[in-house]
Amino acid sequence: MQKLQSQLKTVSKSLAALSKQVERISIQVDKLQPAKKAAAKRKTAPARKTAPARKPAVRKAASTSGKTVLDKVFDAIKRNKNGVTVAQLKQRVKLDARQLSNALYKLTKKGQVHAKSRGLYVKK
Digit-coded pLDDT (tens) for 59-118: 554 554 678 999 999 999 999 888 999 999 999 999 999 999 999 999 999 999 999 999
Q: What is the pLDDT of residue 93?
A: 92
Quote the CA–CA distance of 75 and 63 in Å, as a whole number.
15
Quote the CA–CA distance of 36 and 29 in Å, as a whole number.
11
Pairing of the two strands 120-123 and 113-117? antiparallel
Q: 37 — phi, psi (to 5°)?
A: -65, -40
Quote the CA–CA distance of 106 and 112 in Å, as a whole number.
9
Q: What is the pLDDT of residue 65?
A: 64
Domain map (residue ranges) of the chain = 1-42, 69-123
Share of the chain above pLDDT 70, in %: 75
| CATH tag for 69-123 (out of 1.10.10.10, 1.10.1370.30, 3.30.1330.40, 3.40.50.10800) | 1.10.10.10
Quote the CA–CA distance of 18 and 15 in Å, as a whole number.
5
| Exposure of 100 in the CB half-sphere (CA atoms within 13 A) | 19
Name the more confident of 37 and 18. Answer: 18
pLDDT band at residue 37 using 50, 70 and 90 as cut-offs: low
Share of the chain above pLDDT 90, in %: 44
What is the rounded average pLDDT for all residues in the chain? 83
pLDDT band at residue 26 using 50, 70 and 90 as cut-offs: confident
